[in-house]
Structure formats: structure tokens, C-alpha cells
Amino acid sequence: MTRKPTLDRERGETLRPADFDARLPAAAPPAAFPIETLVPQVREQVPAVGQRATRPDGRMHGLGQTRFIDDLAFPGMLHAKIKRAGIAAARIRAIDTRAAEAMPGVMAVLTGREIPVNSFGPSLKDQPVLADARVFHAGDGVAAVAALTEQIALEALERIKVDYEPLPAVFDPFEALREDAPRVHAPESNVYASKVIRKGDIEQGFAASDHVFEGRFRTQMVEHAPLEPHASIALWDANGRLTVHSTLGRITLGRADIARVLALPVNRVRVVATIVGGNFGGKNEITQEPVLALLSKKTGRPVKGVYTRTEEFIATTTRHPIVMDYRTGVTRDGRIIARKVRLLLDGGAYCSWSETTLGKACILSAGPYRIDHLHAEAIAVYTNKTMTGAMRGFGAPQVCFAYESHMDDIAAALAIDPLEIRLRNAFDEGSASPTGQVLHSVVVKESLALAAERFGWKEPRS
């Protein structure tokens, strides 16, 4: 007498007992929730522009029905973890993965040498997916493991032995500029990007000024810290076509980069983003996606990778620390005539979005002010620290801290009200920007007036 095979038993025959773990964590069981097809009432939202329209994803979030990457699971899915270098600059002599590979539950191990084109980056392709020959900062990945559970993968990372030859490292951007500084990448220089903006005649401008003020301002390295960490799942179909579910905020660039790194035609790669749980610029380029894809190819199984909070800090981009030198010439009544700005951006180990950050910081560094004589220059240098990249504002919060602190110092020295000195210098409709662009839809004075009025700036202070 044969027992009728159940679906579970059929699965049990093809999977080893330990593999049952691979089906965990399963997608959350469907919760009971009211299903309503919301239909708008006639004229309720016409015209549409200007309405405080409810977000269609709001109901999903509220009911806990939004599927973030970590809520997705595929049959047989494995979990990947990446080993971080923990040393800021080194040559990799050898990587021994045998002990990790021998562990029960470990399905595959990957090193940088197995990546077809092991470099990427939005402008300079200076970043390895996994470090192969050299380590450039302590958060570099050096090997990856796919295992039945995250715990097994983490234990396997401990058993991977990397033989490093430590190299001299540089951590300070000023030291990185020195002739004798260790070179992070190119042998010629650690400077990898620069920008200059010149308008008018800076020396003439200072000569015509009644007063000249100077200031140096610095900002720190910060992290985007989105609620949802970087997370992706890679899986292949039998035709060798790759699908990546990812938290990428830029799927077009992401697909091109993944295809390039894996040496695949672009149309053999599909990138699907879900609702992303916060980006702020930190999810603008690929991170672990090619690693997951190659682990998935090795094992024939879907592979998921979710960064830990620590990895969010040490292995993803951060905001550029900038040292900002300002020199400003003004008239007696607080009109800015000349401004010289010098910005030194600490780029960390890779270029990433530094060129954009440097350019925007340089253009915006004069502030929203009419200045006839301007000289702004910015350079970015490599250091053996966490890479800096795109982050909400691309250098603008840094330079705004500098030009607005500097502005208040000038106002105080000249005994002019901070609001008043800004109104005297702010752009008007049709003003020329530092790059000579004629500006339109300019409302900086309106924003100053509105904020001051609502704050009660001119009311007597207690």
C-alpha cells in the first residue's frame, strides 16, 4: 500500500534535511486585511496638481503589506555574507577558502579573482567588487560565502584565511596631498578630481573691498543610515538570464554596471527594485549584486544578501568631509565684491560620485549671492578610508555651513543684521550665477522674507 505523496514529502525527497532551513525565513504568512478597491469620487481630485493626494503605498505600509527585499523568499534560497578586510591598505598574498568550503551548509565561496570584470564606478572605474590584488580601505570585501543560513555563512567567513602584506596608508587629506604620501591608487598623485570657477578679476575685487574676511570651516564624515539596509536577491533562469531584486535607487545604471562586471549582454540582466526603504544617495550604485549573482550561478540557487548595520557604515558610501577656506571682500555696507574659495574633499578609497560632489560644491560654494569677482577651486583626494559618494545635497550642506557661518561673521563685524546682509547680496531674477548662467524663477529673497516673517525675526527679543 503506497501512501499518497504530499507536496512536502516530494520536496523532502529532493532536498537534504538541512536544506529545509534554506526555505526559511519564508515570506510572511498572508495576514488578514480588508481588501478595498479605492475608487475616487468625481471631482474629488480634479485638478490633480496641488492636491494633498494620499500615497498609494501608504495603505500598504500601514497594513504591513509592503514587500521589501528581506520580505521576499524563493524556494531553495541561500544567504550570502561578505568577509571584510579589516586592514586599510594591503597586498593580498593569498586567500585560503578550503576550511570554509568544507563546512556543512556552505554551498559556495567566491573571491575577487573569479569576477569577470572586477571594477566599477559611476565615473572612474576604480572600485573592485571584491578586492583581489589589493585592499584600499578596511571595509573592502575580500571573499563571500553562500550558505543555507546567515549564521553558517557568518561562521564560514571566520574560517577564510587571508594572507595580507600591509602597505603604508594615508588617512588625512592634507597628508595625502604631500609629495611623499603613500599613493592610494595611481603612482602619480592622490588627487583624482578638480574643478575651477573664475569670474571677474579676483585681485581687483579684493583691492576694491573695504574689508576682507577669512575663515576655515570643516565638516565630518556621516552615513546615510536608511532604515532598510542594502539588500538584494540574485537568481538565474535556465537560459542564463539573471534577475536581481535590489534596493538600488537607479536601476538603469545598476543593470548596465551588473552586466559589465559579469560580462553579460545588458538584456540578459533584469533589475527589479521594490519600494526602497530610504536611499538619500547611498543606493545609487551597485554593491553586492554581482557577488550574489556569481554565488547564485555557482550553486544554481537564488542567493540573498542583506547588509548588516555595520556594513552600512564601513562598506557603503558616506558624505565627503570637506575643509573649506573662504576669503571674502566686502564694502562698508556689506556688499560682497570678491570671494575666493578653496575646497579639499576627502574622497576616501574610491571616486564613486566625488566628481559630481566636487563640481556641485564648487559651483554652489559662493552661496546664492551676486558676486562679481569669484575664484572657487575644489580638489578631491584619495585616502585609505571608507569611500565617500552621493549623499543628499552632494557637497551643498558642507559649503552652505561654510558660506552662511562666514556670512554671519561678516554681518557681526559690520554690525549689520544677518537677514539684512543676505537681502543686500541675494540673487534676483536674472542674476548671473558663478558660472555665468542667467538665473530664472529666483525666489531666494522671497524665501528669506517669508521665513523671517513666520519666525518673527523682526519682533523685539525678550
Q: Which of residues 96-125 bind other proteins (CB under 8 A)?
A: none
Please, what's the b/e burial string for 105-115 (b: 16 or more CB within 10 A of its CB; e: otherwise)?
Answer: bbbbbbbbebb
Say how many C-beta atoms besides its own lie within 10 A of residue 372's C-beta. Answer: 17
Q: Of 9, 113, 161, 198, which lies in the binding site for other proteins, with binding defined by CB under 8 A?
A: 198
Q: Report if residue 63 touches other proteins, rule: CB under 8 A.
A: no
Applying CB under 8 A, among 27, 178, 450, 458 the residue interacting with other proteins is 450
Q: Of 105 and 347, which has the nearer Cβ to other proteins?
A: 347
Number of residues that bind other proteins (CB under 8 A): 129
- Within 311-370, which residues bind other proteins (CB under 8 A)? 312-314, 318-319, 356, 359-360, 362-364, 367-368
**Among residues 107 and 421, whose Cβ is nearest to other proteins?**
421
152 or 351: CB nearest other proteins: 351
Position among 16, 45, 93, 113 found at the interface with other proteins (CB under 8 A): 45
CB nearer to other proteins: give 126 or 377: 377
Instruction: Please choose, from the candidates 78, 106, 116, the residue with its C-alpha nearest in 3D space to the C-alpha of residue 234.
Output: 78
Please, what's the largest Cα pairwise distance for the chain?
A: 105
Which residue from 38, 94, 238, 263 is in contact with other proteins, where contact means CB under 8 A? 38
Within residues 235-274, the interface with other proteins by CB under 8 A covers 248-253, 255, 269-274
Opening angle at CA 191, ends 220 and 131, nearest 5: 80
For other proteins, the binding residues in 390-429 under the rule CB under 8 A are 390, 392-394, 396-397, 400-401, 403-405, 408-409, 412-413, 418-419, 422, 426-427
Site for other proteins, residues 428 to 447, rule: CB under 8 A:
433-437, 439-444, 446-447
Q: CB 8 → other proteins: shortest distance, Å?
A: 32
Q: Which stretch binds other proteins (CB under 8 A): 96-104, 156-164, 276-284, 292-300?
A: 276-284
Site string for other proteins, 119-158 (x = CB under 8 A): ------------------xxx-------------------
Residue 252: partners with Cβ closer than 8 Å, 6 or more residues away: none
- Distances in Å between the Cα of 136 and the Cα atoms of 150, 153, 299, 300 are 26, 24, 29, 32
Given 43, 104, 188, 238, the residue binding other proteins (CB under 8 A): 43
Nearer to other proteins (CB atom), residue 66 or residue 299: 66
Sole binder of other proteins in the list 40, 104, 265, 430 (CB under 8 A): 40
Q: Shortest approach of other proteins to residue 18 CB, angstroms?
A: 31
Contact positions with other proteins (CB under 8 A) in 216-235: 216-223, 225
In the bound state with other proteins, the residue whose beta carbon lies nearer, of 138 and 162, is 138
